[in-house]
Structure 1
Amino acid sequence: MNYQETLKIYDELVSKCPRFERKGKTMPYTSANGHMFSQLNKDGEIGIRFSKEVQEQYLKAFQTTHFKSYGATMRGYVLIPETMLSDLDILAKYLNESYDYVMTLEPK
């Protein structure tokens, strides 16, 4: 899947979550309370941030790895496998879960 296709999916995904909106022109992301919690990297991969416990659980459940952006491993982020991109309702649940998590963090 190329960047443009994934960007379209990412925009559609974020639009299913009315509590926040997509930001960033060249690097699409979502943030709340000063904390970024999802991102689309230049390779067209989506990463979603979770708490440490949930992250470990999802790395196994999704059979995936940590998300990387511009060559750096993003701490707390799980790479969403391409196979999961077809079910936006389930992904919206994970993205909302991530939003709820960052809302528990100290505002930046």
Structure 2
Amino acid sequence: MPRKEKKSIPAEQLELYEKLVESIPELEINSTFGFPYTSLNGHMFSLLSKSGFVGIRLPKQERETFLKKYNSTIYKPEPGPLLKEYVTVPNDLLTDIETLKKYLSISLEYVKTLKPKPAKKKK
């Protein structure tokens, strides 16, 4: 049986995602699950899929506005389930760090309102 080829994230998208996260000094990138993401209090709020697509978690009103304004879709990583609170960042918008910084800041403020998830005990 042939081995599955490990898909690596496109370098250009990874670099742009890193620049976006670095634009907000209090954030840092995690990669516990094999892909880069941001989280706070156990809640992920942005990620970069292995296919090179960025997803940002937004509250309902901002999410609806983003979807219409950028002709975007609800985020679905490959493989994985639909992430209903996340929007897919169009690749051409990924180069506009200032615009995306605004949305990432909104996302950060949104997850600050969520109840922290309890830490999992290490075995």
Which runs of 5 or more residues in structure 1 are unaligned? none
**1:65 partnered with 2:81:** no
Aligned length: 107
Q: Which has the larger radius of gyration?
A: 2
Q: Which residue does the alignment assign to 1:97?
A: 106
Correspondence 1:7-86 to 2 at 5 A: 7-24=14-31, 26-69=34-77, 70-86=79-95
Distance 2:98 2:66 in 1: 17
Deviation at 1:9, TM superposition (A): 0.4
The sequence identity of aligned pairs, in percent, is 43
Q: Which runs of 5+ in 2 are unaligned?
A: 1-8, 118-123
Q: Which of structure 1's runs of 4+ aligned residues deviate more than 6 A?
A: none
Provide the TM-score with structure 1 as the length reference. Answer: 0.92
Q: Which residue matches 2:115?
A: 106
* Structure ranking higher in strand proportion: 1
Of Structure 1 and Structure 2, which has the larger fraction of its residues in helix? 1
